[in-house]
Structure 1
């Protein structure tokens, strides 16, 4: 109904315009295949020896390759994750100081349910779990409270006591 409420502010006087202060950069997407854990040498006791990946790190790497997130990884993501594999290997070789950095790095890829929620990731099966109804399966608010009615002579609205 026209005339209800104050007129909207002019656009130039609005405090919030919901526009990004910094424009977005749109990149061309190129999916990249996961690299294998590389063979390399490290210095140990003054000589170069072949680095052996801990079995647990090999399993961890395969978990990332098989993860749903992997289909969205580009080459720079895999390179960052490869460096993260070295931190994972340090942890599994007993260097507990690597734990904090490992946690920060895998959080960026959605390693835990909390990480995925923060990154606004959802699994495709969850999208269709409600059969397209947009409901959890329980009764709606209308079904739960639709029969409720205001009682005659009930309390008046605040500020309208008279």
Structure 2
């Protein structure tokens, strides 16, 4: 995978991605429509130029903390996954422009100030997600009916 620019593992039976593949030139990784349930924290460690990551329609229930290594990421699609919460490590994705969270009924929390910390963000799609009507609580997670969530979205 060392010289690969794009990898597509769509519609496969892979359930777990492990190890630390060295892919310095990888720019696009499509994993949508797969049986993927888990990615280890070290998997993205050596993918410094990854700009597109599509995990939509996978069996994922959580993102690895190692996603913070994807400092060049501009497009992240998590739509139609069973992810319950977004990790605070997403704050490190300073180049992220597109965050797709549509059709995620299990999504119940987003760390406070995560969205507003993504200064390059241009598009956030939360259509029919579990969090679409929720906002910030005192413990730093999002919950129902608070103006702070609307203010955070307005700030970006």
Same fold (TM over 0.5): no
**TM-score between both structures, scaled by the size of structure 1:** 0.20
Which one has a larger percent helix, Structure 1 or Structure 2? 1
Which one has a larger percent strand, Structure 1 or Structure 2? 2
**TM-score between both structures, scaled by the size of structure 2:** 0.20
Larger Rg: 1
